[in-house]
Amino acid sequence: MVWALSRQAERWPDLDTAPVNTDGLPPRDAAFAHAIYDAALRRWITLEWVLNRHLRQPLSGMKPGARAVLIGGAAQMLLLDRVPVHAAINESVEWAKRHLSGSLAGMVNGVLRNVWRDILTQTSDDRLHSPTRRAEWSGSRFEIPLPDGGCRVLREPLLPEDPHERLRVVTSCPQALYEHWLGTHGEAITRAQAIHLLATPPTVINIAHRRGSLPEQLEALSVPHAQRGSRVWTGPRSELSSLLAKNSDLWVQDSSSSACVLGLAEYAEAARGGKVVDLCAGQGTKTRQLSSVFADATVFASDPDEPRLQTLRHVAATLANVRVVEATEIATQGAGAALVLADVPCSNSGVLARRVEARYRWSLAQLDRLIAVQREILTTAASVVAKGGLVVYSTCSIEREENQQQAAWAAGLGLELVRERAILPEGVPGGPDTSYRDGAYCAVLRRSRT
């Protein structure tokens, strides 16, 4: 686990999406390693702030291994329950002795013991009792929020005095992102979105295109989501994998993501016998939806990334009306399409509770680069769609620059806005999984007939 965190520390803030490797570990140990790793990544900024109070130099200036072992140790003490503090410290120190140096191991020991002294406990025997927690987080300087809605209690008001800085730190929200949200969305939405980062996203199954009754396994191991056509998975991941392998008309997809294509059903008749194009098909989730909604059309799906294109070919093998084509061929193969879906690359700011690594690499420079890419894709979509046809532009972002402003910009391509829908993320720590949703945006644009 520490090696995996060390790799992320070396890449910071451009984290990768690779999970921690737990091959060979017993199930219980593997689950524990995943819990530490996930908690550390989700709350890196929180943990870094706490650790920096006890370091002579900022954590960011230390070697990756030292940063990783401190982050992992602090995550166990501050964010996980039922972890004996002496075990968390001792294991961290032993790892540092084996892989760093004696002096760094001593530093790790001292820093983690100081972190432990920051935390309120119910007894003087700190070795045997877990730190104090409260059932509800109030946002005070004494409390570090937990994913279930509770909080870890500190001995003193150690968190930042400024309420914005305190919220940003305890939700592990990068400063550039938080300030951008304040400037574009205002305080209320910024606060809601920062708190949303603490929520644990559920696994949502799209059942809207199911042919026939639901499998008994799904009925038993899931509950209805607030949005019709979706269910929340409550069973083990191993059973989910077997369920999806046996049922090609079921797949994992958040309710906000599925809403875009579901809303296009009224255009199915107009596309009958024609072409529908999925320009940025990725791994084919929306391609499956297009195949179902536009069952009487031919869906041409493509993606510029070769590994994703290979995955797309695998998905399309079970879809009779889908043709997978190279990105260089889409302009000719898809020309004259009745509808073009441009589910473009974006900042992912609507799915940051789910895409943890995306929050840390957010920047204005990245936003500008993405806006340029999105406009290139919109330009391609406008050239492929037939006169009078539709371009559907979608993102998993909540930023106006990537959404409403791009739809307005498309007017210069001869695309007129028919309708648009912006969905803000919903879900708080400890809130019901059945009402959780990601953020998303969808605009339906019509190409002029002239």
8 A C-beta contact, residue 349 and residue 398: yes
Q: What is the pLDDT of residues 259-268, one digit of tens each?
A: 999 999 999 9
Q: What's the token pair of residue 231? A: 């269910």
Is residue 157 in some structural domain?
A: no
Same domain, 247 and 275: no
Low-confidence stretches of the chain (pLDDT beneath 50): 126-128
CATH of the domain at 11: 1.10.940.10
Q: Which domain holds residue 69?
A: 2-131
pLDDT at 446: 97
| 107 and 216 share one domain | no
Please check whether residues 111 and 238 belong to one and the same domain: no
> Is residue 239 domain-shared with residue 275, that is, in the same domain?
no
The reported pLDDT for the residue numbered 82 is 83
**CA dihedral sign of residues 56, 57, 62, 68:** positive
Do the domain assignments include residue 228?
Answer: yes
Looking at the fold, whether 287 and 435 belong to one and the same domain comes out as yes
**What was the pLDDT predicted at 142?**
95
Domain check: are 222 and 270 in the same one?
A: no
pLDDT of residue 123: 56
Residues 299 and 332 in one domain: yes
Q: Identify whether 140 is part of a domain.
A: no
Domain identity same for 224 and 123: no
Angle, alpha carbons 112-79-235 (nearest 5°): 145
Taking the C-alpha atoms of residue 386 and residue 271, their distance in angstroms, rounded to an integer, is 11
Number of domains in the chain: 3
**What does the pLDDT read at residue 122?**
61
Residues 426 and 280 both lie in one domain: yes
* Residue 100, domain member (yes or no): yes
* CATH classification at residue 319: 3.40.50.150
In a domain, 299, yes or no: yes
Residue at 292 is within a domain:
yes
pTM across the whole model: 0.93
Q: For the residues of 359-420, what is the DSSP string, one character each?
A: HHT--HHHHHHHHHHHHHHHHHHHHHEEEEEEEEEEES---TTTTHHHHHHGGGGTEEEEEE
Question: What one-letter code names the amino acid at 423?
Answer: I
Chain segment 400-444, per-residue pLDDT in tens? 999 999 999 999 999 999 999 999 999 999 999 999 999 999 999
> Residue 136 domain-assigned?
no
Residues 207, 320 within the same domain: no
Tell whether 394 and 290 lie within a shared domain.
yes
One domain for residues 340 and 427: yes
